[in-house]
Chains A and B, each alone.
Chain A
Amino acid sequence: GNSVTQMEGPVTLSEEAFLTINCTYTATGYPSLFWYVQYPGEGLQLLLKATKADDKGSNKGFEATYRKETTSFHLEKGSVQVSDSAVYFCALSDNTGNQFYFGTGTSLTVIP
């Protein structure tokens, strides 16, 4: 079956630190991969996506590369800001686009 496993939090970093949030997946076929972000009191927002192996998704300084050989889609940012404090969810959609599977989320707090 399809599933997503992401590193557990919470993660606390100082401003300008380097961020990595690990995500691995199990899937049949050729899924698309996503990172969503949820700011306090808000709904999930799409952060970035990648639709095939070796694709790199990027947005707002965040990047993630679709690695089929390691079934991973780790989220990285070179220099985090206080405004990046949120919960980050890794997700995949199957090749029908009718099913999305989410990880349990990783809470990030960035302190000044």
Chain B
Amino acid sequence: GAGVSQSPRYKVAKRGQDVALRCDPISGHVSLFWYQQALGQGPEFLTYFQNEAQLDKSGLPSDRFFAERPEGSVSTLKIQRTQQEDSAVYLCASSSRDLSYNSPLHFGNGTRLTVT
């Protein structure tokens, strides 16, 4: 597609449920990022993939959070045993990562997760 696509757009989960959020990056983009955006805040880094390799997962808040990108394209962010503090918008972004390393991020519209 023309842009980064995320699904679902909205997700309501009961506390304790597992959720899976999908990201379809721009075709050919090597780099993929997941961010968490709380209400009224800027995006906070969660994790980064280069192709299928997860090079940085230092931003994942707990071991309940898990991300994968098995074929270097579509990525899934999974949150196990959701808690209320997980409520946020989860943003996916991709980048072409050119030789000068200053490629901008292209964001999807995000998935708004509400844990009740």
Are A98 and B55 neighbours in the complex by a CB distance under 8 Å?
A: yes
Chain B residues positioned under 8 Å from A34 (CB to CB): 104
Closest beta carbon of chain A to B60's beta carbon, Å: 14
For residue B50, which residues in chain A have a CB less than 8 angstroms away from its CB? 98
Interface size class of B (residues with CB under 8 A): 20 to 34
Do B104 and A49 have beta carbons less than 8 Å apart? yes
Q: Do the beta carbons of B108 and A43 come within 8 Å of each other?
A: yes
Find out whether the CB atom of A46 lies under 8 angstroms from the CB atom of B106: yes
> CA separation between A98 and B49, bound complex, in Å?
9
B18 within 8 A of A: no
Would you call A102 an interface residue if the criterion is a C-beta within 8 Å of the partner chain's C-beta atoms?
A: yes
Binds A, one of B65-73, B75-83, B95-103: B95-103
Contact (A96, B101) CB under 8 Å given A44-B43, A102-B42, A105-B42 = yes
**B102 with A44: CB separation less than 8 A:** no
Judge whether B109 is part of the interface by a CB distance below 8 angstroms. Answer: yes
A103 to B18, CA, bound (A): 30
- Contact across chains for A97 and B103 when beta carbons are under 8 A apart: yes
List residues of chain A with CB within 8 A of the CB of B93.
44, 100
Within 8 Å of chain A (Cβ to Cβ): is B87? Answer: no
A95 in the interface (beta carbon within 8 A) = yes
B102: which of A36, A43, A51 is its contact (CB, 8 Å)? Answer: A51
| Residue of B whose beta carbon sits closest to that of A6 | B42
Chain A: CB-nearest residue to B105: A100
The answer to whether the Cβ of A93 comes within 8 Å of any Cβ in the partner chain is: yes
Known: A49-B104, A104-B42. 20 other contacts (CB 8 A): A32-B102, A42-B109, A43-B4, A43-B108, A43-B110, A44-B105, A44-B107, A46-B104, A46-B105, A51-B100, A89-B42, A93-B101, A93-B102, A97-B31, A98-B48, A99-B56, A100-B33, A100-B45, A103-B42, A105-B42
Tell me the B residues contacting A by CB distance below 8 Å. Answer: 4, 31, 33, 35, 40-45, 48, 50, 55-56, 91, 93, 95, 97, 100-110
17 contacts between A and B (CB under 8 A): A32-B102, A43-B109, A46-B104, A89-B42, A89-B43, A95-B101, A97-B31, A97-B97, A97-B101, A97-B103, A98-B50, A98-B55, A99-B56, A100-B33, A100-B45, A104-B41, A105-B41
